[in-house]
């Protein structure tokens, strides 16, 4: 399946699961995490997360989506950028893979990702995009899942014209 890249707000997507760029405590944070908690219902999502954390960097857990149009939220913990020599790339790739494997194992057909670690966690944006595209792309060689990568602030990224993408 091809990977779709779109610009938009991930909380509005009606898919089987959206991925949250979570922290290890699965606590409500800022950025996309704050937006997902607010749209899902803060109390419901906080309670669901409380029983599941902490979650290690590179790993992912799933909760219901509550008030979101998406049925589930997969909380994936990306690495904090510390200069690039602390296994950041491997850990970021692992955060994508853990989410994809969790979704596939649960029988989900559609999944949407934000660009994990590319905001508050400081991963350089174009490098974060490259890791996302290659990690998801490799997985999709062997999978029928419909995966969307959601770019929020498109102007911060140099999107290659050769990439398959649709802007909404
Ligand atoms: P992290 O802490 O993993 O860096 P952030 O939430 O700070 O997570 O940022 C991850 C990416 O999500 C950033 O590129 C940011 O622009 C983007 N983002 C923020 N809000 C949304 C949203 N509502 N939908 C999709 N992406 C978003």
Taking only the tens place, the pLDDT of each residue in 8-44 is 999 999 999 999 999 999 999 999 999 999 999 999 9
> What is the band of 132 on the pLDDT scale with cuts at 50, 70, 90?
very high
Taking alpha carbons only, the member of 55, 54, 32, 33 closest to residue 45 is 33
CA-115 nearest atom, ligand 1: 11
Compute the distance from residue 91 Cα to the ligand 1 centre, in Å. 17
In contact, 60 and 49? CB cutoff 8 Å: no
Residue nearest to atom 9 of ligand 1 (CA): 119
- Stretch (H or E) spanning 81: none
Q: What is the pLDDT of residues 66-113, one digit of tens each?
A: 999 999 999 999 999 999 999 999 999 999 999 999 999 999 999 999
β-bridge pairing 4-7 and 72-77: unpaired
Compute the distance from residue 21 Cα to the ligand 1 centre, in Å. 7
Q: Tell me, what's the ipTM?
A: 0.98
**pLDDT number for residue 153:** 86
Helix then strand count (H, E) for the chain reads 4, 6
* Residue 8, number of CB atoms within 10 A of its CB: 15
> Which residue of 18, 20, 21, 131 sits with most ligand 1 atoms within 8 Å of its CB, as the best mutation to test the pocket?
21
Q: How far is residue 85's CA from residue 106's CA, in Å, rounded to a whole number?
A: 34
CA-153 nearest atom, ligand 1: 16
């Amino acid at each position: 399946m091809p990977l779709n890249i779109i610009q938009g707000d991930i909380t509005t997507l009606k898919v089987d699961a959206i991925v949250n760029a979570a922290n290890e405590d699965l606590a409500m944070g800022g950025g996309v995490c704050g937006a997902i908690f607010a749209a899902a219902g803060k109390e419901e999502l906080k309670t669901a997360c409380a029983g599941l954390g902490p979650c290690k960097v590179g790993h992912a857990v799933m909760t219901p989506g509550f008030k979101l149009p998406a049925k589930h939220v997969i909380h994936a913990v990306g690495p904090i950028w510390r200069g690039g020599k602390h296994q950041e790339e491997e850990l970021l790739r692992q955060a994508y893979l853990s989410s994809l494997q969790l979704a596939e194992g649960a029988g989900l057909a559609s999944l949407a990702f934000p660009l994990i670690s590319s905001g508050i966690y400081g991963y350089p944006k174009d490098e974060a995009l490259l890791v996302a595209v290659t990690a998801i792309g490799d997985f999709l060689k062997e999978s029928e899942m419909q995966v969307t990568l959601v770019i929020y602030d498109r102007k911060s990224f140099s999107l290659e014209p050769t990439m398959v993408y649709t802007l909404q």
